[in-house]
Amino acid sequence: MDFKVADLSLAAFGRREIQLAEHEMPGLMAVRKEYADSQPLAGAKIMGSLHMTIQTAVLIETLVALGAEVRWVSCNIFSTQDHAAAAVVVGPEGTVEDPKGVPVFAWKGETLEEYWWCTEQALVWPGGDGPNMILDDGGDATLLVHKGVEYEKAGAVPGASEGDSEEWQVILELLRRTVGPDKRWTEIASRIKGVTEETTTGVHRLYEMFKAGSLLFPAINVNDSVTKSKFDNKYGCRHSVIDGLNRATDVLIGGKVAVVAGYGDVGKGCADALRGQGARVIVTEIDPICALQAAMDGFQVTTLDDVVGIADIFVTTTGNFDIITADHMSRMKHNAIVSNIGHFDNEIDMAGLAKIPGIVKTEVKPQVHTWAFPDGRQIIVLAEGRLMNLGCATGHPSFVMSNSFTNQVIAQIELFTKTEQYPVGVYVLPKHLDEKVARLHLDALGVKLTKLTKEQAEYIGVDVEGPYKADHYRY
């Protein structure tokens, strides 16, 4: 088996944590049981690009239990938990000397070159017969395949231009090495039946490609299952934003002024958590609806420019770019903590910060850096501007990820087994499956549902067994 992880000897530790996580992931375990005999993913060759954590290990082993062959990478250079990666490679039946699990190419602290090399390894299967499915988070695997096909069609990869980010230059370099007359990427794309996408940012990319007519295969938008975005993005971040801040800095949050940029699902979770710790939370928004929600939830809503000099903690949650600029950072208080929990690192202008004349970067510990300005003030930047809950802590806890990942497994089964029902486009799972995912998590929390009577069901115009809401209902 080919794989590349940090240290295979961490596998036993990883396995113990996977076993604990399985208990907290009732949705995934129920799906394993339900499909044990029918093996709906037999023949599926799934390339996964999603944070290689303990929770993801339970997802991977669920896909395998349903018959899939899998190769995996992380979708962020800092988010891999090395013991999880080792345990997945060794597998429940294997040993360090004789690994029998799943090929993983991921370790904590990859360089950008290594990150994209890993993504390539998981897309290029030995024997050249896979993958036929992608499970993506943020859309990097999907992007690489699409760019490869685009440049193979054009017959050349463009040269680097002035304003290109470092990461884009790395991607172009990889494509220059691999785009050729053998049309490797076109062949890879032709085998892929579809992609299931985990997060807001990746879903955004998919809709853009579909609109532009460049999407090459169908996609299921897992993010917009209610049991994903209204749970993982909100309650998951409510937990892990504090975990990230604590593990990185251990600063007391109570009494501090915290700015949350963006009041979507992630922003709502973060603002709630910071308030729960006793911070005075200020929200910034561009959308009048979300701004009004934040105001009615009791938060001050204003612009970053207004409060940049008084806040102690900054968290960006927008999925947009240039939210905190170098100029903002140069106006912050001494030891202000600057962090991002959105998918990509461009929410904070790290490149601009590095260019400030006389600025000095010092590593406090991995993924925590001070940046000192010539006047003696400094700020603390978490995870180099990448998502701090996965860079500085261990991401969301198992129970909430069980909701997200049960949607992922169901979406993979849908696309793989009913491919002809999904022409190229971007789809969300039907509501009855969303409700099923929620239902699978109720017992573990001791929830007792009220059952509709037949008459009540008729009165509100639904079926006794659901779905209980119209598709336009927003929760």
Q: Decide: is 264 part of the binding site for ligand NAI (CB under 6 A).
A: yes
Using CB atoms within 10 Å of the CB of residue 366, give its burial: 0 to 12 exposed, 13 to 18 middle, 19+ buried.
middle
Token pair recorded at residue 6: 């940090």
> Quick one: which segment of 13-21, 85-93, 255-263, 409-417 binds ligand NAI (CB under 6 A)?
255-263
- 340 catalytic? Reply is no
| CB of 79 or CB of 178, closer to ligand NAI | 79
CA distance 73 to 88: 11
Among 22, 120, 152, 285, binds ligand NAI (CB under 6 A): 285
Asked if residue 48 belongs to a known ligand binding site, the reply is no
Active-site annotation holder among 49, 76, 225, 233 = 233
* Residue 435 near residue 468 (C-beta atoms within 8 A): yes
DSSP line for 183-219: -HHHHHHHH--EEEE-SHHHHHHHHHHHHHT---S-E
Q: Does the protein bind ligand NAI through residue 208 (CB under 6 A)?
A: no
> Quick check: is 396 catalytic?
yes
Chain residues 329-358 in contact with ligand NAI, contact rule CB under 6 A: 341-343
Task: Count other C-beta atoms under 10 Å from residue 292's C-beta.
Answer: 13
Please tell me whether 7 is known to bind a ligand. no
How far apart are the two ends of the chain, measured CA to CA in Å? 45
Query: Per CB under 6 A, which of residues 4..63 are in contact with ligand NAI?
Result: none
Nearest-angstrom CA–CA distance, 76 and 112: 9
Least CB distance from residue 395 to ligand NAI, whole Å? 6
Positions in 373-392 near ligand NAI (CB under 6 A): 387, 389
CA atoms of 20 and 71, how far apart (whole Å)? 23
Judge whether 53 is annotated as a binding position.
yes
263 is in an annotated binding site: yes
Structure tokens at 179: 């785009």
Query: Active site includes 237?
Result: yes
Tell me phi and psi for residue 338, to 5 degrees.
-115, 120
**137 annotated to a ligand binding site:** yes
Active-site choice (49, 229, 408, 412): 408
Q: Can you tell me which of 34, 113, 287, 443 binds ligand NAI, judged by CB under 6 A?
A: 287
Instruction: Tell me the C-alpha distance between 230 and 469, whole Å.
Output: 15
Smaller CB separation from ligand NAI, 68 or 270: 270
Active-site residue identified among 75, 237, 270, 392? 237
Q: Which of 82, 110, 120, 137 is catalytic?
A: 137
Residue (24 or 285) nearer to ligand NAI, CB: 285
Which residue stretch of 69-77, 265-273, 443-451, 453-461 sits at the interface with ligand NAI (rule: CB under 6 A)?
A: 265-273
Buried b (16+ CB within 10 A) or exposed e, 197-209: bbbbbbbbbbeeb
Binders of ligand NAI among residues 216 to 235 (CB under 6 A) are 229, 232-233
Size of the site for ligand NAI (CB under 6 A): 32
Window of 170-178, 180-188, 286-294, 325-333 that interacts with ligand NAI by CB under 6 A = 286-294
**Is 267 annotated as ligand-binding?**
yes
Determine whether 272 is an active site residue.
no
Q: Is 41 helix (H, G, I), strand (E, B) or coil?
A: coil
The interface region with ligand NAI, picked from 194-202, 211-219, 372-380, 466-474 by CB under 6 A, is: 194-202
Q: In what order do the strands lie in the sheet with 280-284?
A: 300-301, 280-284, 257-261, 313-316, 336-340, 378-382, 368-372, 360-365
Under rule CB under 6 A, residue 142 binds ligand NAI: no
On the question of a cis peptide bond just before residue 158, with omega within 30 degrees of 0, the verdict is no
* Pairwise CA distance, residues 228 & 222, whole Å: 7
Q: Does 262 bind ligand NAI (CB under 6 A)?
A: yes
**Binding letters toward ligand NAI, positions 295-334, x by CB under 6 A:** ----------------------xxxx--x-----------
Is 265 among the residues that bind ligand NAI (CB under 6 A)?
yes
What Cα–Cα distance (Å) separates residue 80 from each residue in 98, 215, 398, 475? 22, 29, 15, 32
C-alpha span between 310 and 318 (Å, rounded): 21
Spatial separation of the C-alpha atoms in residues 38 and 27, rounded to whole Å: 18
For residue 301, which phi and psi values (nearest 5 degrees)?
-120, 120
Sites of contact with ligand NAI (CB under 6 A): 199-201, 229, 232-233, 236-237, 261-267, 284-287, 290, 317-320, 323, 341-343, 387, 389, 395-396
Active-site residues, by number, are 51, 74, 79, 137, 198, 223, 228, 232-233, 237, 343, 396, 404, 408
Binding residue ranges for NAD(+): 199-201, 233, 262-267, 285, 320, 341-343, 389
Binding residue ranges for substrate: 53, 137, 198, 228, 232
Binding residue ranges: 53, 137, 198-201, 228, 232-233, 262-267, 285, 320, 341-343, 389
